[in-house]
Chains A and B, each alone.
Chain A
Amino acid sequence: MSMFDGLKYRSVSSPIHSIDPRAKLVYVCVLFVISVLFSQLIPLLIILLIQVPLVVLARVKREWLRLLRGSTFFALLIFAMNVISLYFYGASQSIYSIIEHALAMSVRFIVLVESFSIFFLTTSPDMLGLSMEQMGVPYELCFAFTTAIRFIPVLAEEAQTIIDAQRARGLDLEGGNFMKRIRNYIPILIPLIVSAIRRSIELAEAMESRAWGATKKRTNLYVLNMRRRDYAFILLSLLMLAVSLYVWLAIRIPSLIQILEDLNIL
């Protein structure tokens, strides 16, 4: 669970939290583009580092660090895969540049995780649903999204109850090999699914009783308004994109190896 905690919204007040979700979405998209644009280690490291002040500003350092720790496994996996594939199948390169390239790929992954986590840690699902609605996503989809999030804790609690109940009846969840362990979870999953279906019928009933689908022109209690600083945030993101594009087109980015060689360290 620790890894997913890094994507779970916490209600804290900070300048980043109060930025309009749509502006933050632009930011995430920009970072996505930039990190795909560059495949060299140095620019990716820079992108990684310039996001840190944002995390500090948003006061979500602890959750963010936990997420990074959770993603080290995948980062290492990416590193290993790249080293292996470049070493055996790539054009002949020095081992240093192979390592640098593989490292760059891992950092790219971490940058993506970092920016997504900044988005999800600081945007309440409610506001996210609302901004989806205002961006023209059909209401049914937005509703399904927020309802799914609303029921995560409920289902988690229910799963725990079922696990406890089945254990009390002598179910052994730990024993056996991998396949056996997966099979052990069947007595948990079946009641969980059945009760989720029952729950969904009750939910549908309650929705119908609250005039679901009465009119195509649904209104909303809350409305998101873009303020000046939201526009400023978007502008800043776009500026970052422009600078990156310029660097990408006009400047030959040196690799870390070259710099080190020039400095006679290697």
Chain B
Amino acid sequence: MAIIEARNLTYTYPLSEKPAFKNVNLSIEKGEFVLLTGPSGCGKTTLCRCFNGLIPHFYGGKLEGEIIVAGLRTVDHPIHELAQHVGLVFQNPENQLFALNVEKDVAFGLENLGYPRDEIRRRVDWALKVTGIYDLRSKPPFELSGGQQQRVAIASVLAMQPEIIVLDEPTSFLDPLTARNILEVIYQLNRSLGITVVLVEHRLDLVARYANRIIVMNNGEIIADGEPRRVFLDENVKLVGIGVPKVVKLYLLLKEEGFDLGRVPLSPEEAYEAIAEVLAHDRG
């Protein structure tokens, strides 16, 4: 069974008349790295809030249809129970760190769950090492850079050892290089720990290479869902105006000029290889 399953999901915020998204059908398998994208206000963030029960438990409003995450119907289970299965990382790292040092912050979730102290210590150290911030463990959060803060935020949901990590634009406050390092950390979580990742992101240039599935939303509906190479060539997607990676644009331009690279590249490295191959073929 899929780890996230949504059927005919429609949600309307309180005091709002128009639903934030409607009739969303979605099924995410364990171990997938899903990129969720679309223009601002398309309902991505709202959808993320459904995964760990913030909707409807925290926000109220009207949720219709059904959503089951890690085998639990989110409407029937409190947020703190769902939080152990789904870790949510938010956009602004500053507003998700509460403690006066890193270590204490990473321990926060486990403390709330009442884990024994040696277990907390073990998991905190593990999470700090996995995210590469073990050396920063006794620093106060305001002495950290944005990228380091976001690593702390990731470590602190990771410490609860969830099966799914949902990240809502985790790099939008970061410069491209730091963003890339964070994405690399997330990719490793998916690769080596088998954690299912749902990543909301605009910077498709940076993320395309990691995802094995892309979901594009527009106006509260899913308009494309599938393998990145296929989705980027979708006509609907082009109309929405999401930032298709430059290498994909290059591929399309070359194709118009009569050079078929064979395979849609997702990173400059892939594009380089494909072009080199075509050139070698032409010479030969």
Interface residues of A (CB under 8 A from B): 124-126, 143, 146-147, 149-150, 153-154, 199, 202-215, 217-223
B117 touches A202 (CB 8 A): no
Q: Which of B95, B97, B104, B121 contacts A199 (CB 8 A)?
A: B95
Query: 7 additional contacts, CB 8 Å, given A208-B57, A214-B80?
Result: A150-B98, A150-B100, A150-B140, A202-B95, A206-B90, A211-B84, A212-B112
0/1 string, B53-89, CB within 8 A of A gives 1: 0100110000000000000000000011101100110
Q: CA separation between A202 and B107, bound complex, in Å?
A: 19
B124 touches A214 (CB 8 A): no
9 tightest A-B CB contacts, nearest first? A206-B96, A214-B80, A210-B109, A221-B107, A211-B80, A215-B114, A202-B95, A209-B88, A211-B112
Chain B residues within an 8 Å CB radius of A203:
95-96, 98
Chain A residues within an 8 Å CB radius of B57:
208
Interface residues of B (CB under 8 A from A): 49, 52, 54, 57-58, 79-81, 83-84, 87-88, 90, 92, 94-101, 103-104, 107-117, 120-121, 124, 140-142, 156-157, 160
Q: CA separation between A53 and B174, bound complex, in Å?
A: 48
Chain A residues within an 8 Å CB radius of B103:
221
Q: CA separation between A153 and B160, bound complex, in Å?
A: 28
Of all chain A residues, which has the CB nearest B159? A210
Q: Which of A209, A217, A218, A219 contacts B87 (CB 8 A)?
A: A209
Contact A218 to B58, CB < 8 A, known contacts A125-B100, A146-B98, A150-B141: no
Q: CA separation between A246 and B277, bound complex, in Å?
A: 96
Of all chain A residues, which has the CB nearest B115? A219
Of all chain B residues, which has the CB nearest A220? B111
Chain B residues within an 8 Å CB radius of A210:
83, 108-109, 112, 156-157, 160
Q: Which of B58, B114, B121 contacts A217 (CB 8 A)?
A: B114
A212 touches B90 (CB 8 A): no
The A interface, classified by DSSP as helix, strand, loop or mixed, is helix
Closest beta carbon of chain B to A42's beta carbon, Å: 42
Chain B residues within an 8 Å CB radius of A211:
79-80, 83-84, 109, 112-113, 160
A214 touches B87 (CB 8 A): no
Q: CA separation between A222 and B108, bound complex, in Å?
A: 11
Chain B residues within an 8 Å CB radius of A217:
114
Chain B residues within an 8 Å CB radius of A149:
100
B111 touches A218 (CB 8 A): yes
Q: Which of B94, B96, B98 contacts A143 (CB 8 A)?
A: B98
Q: CA separation between A154 and B143, bound complex, in Å?
A: 11
Chain B residues within an 8 Å CB radius of A207:
98
Q: Which of B94, B104, B114, B142 contacts A221 (CB 8 A)?
A: B104
Choose among A126, A143, A205, A223 the residue with the greatest number of B CB atoms under 10 Å from its CB. Answer: A205
Chain A residues within an 8 Å CB radius of B157:
209-210
Q: CA separation between A201 and B111, bound complex, in Å?
A: 22
Q: CA separation between A259 and B97, bound complex, in Å?
A: 60
Contact A218 to B109, CB < 8 A, known contacts A150-B99, A209-B54: no
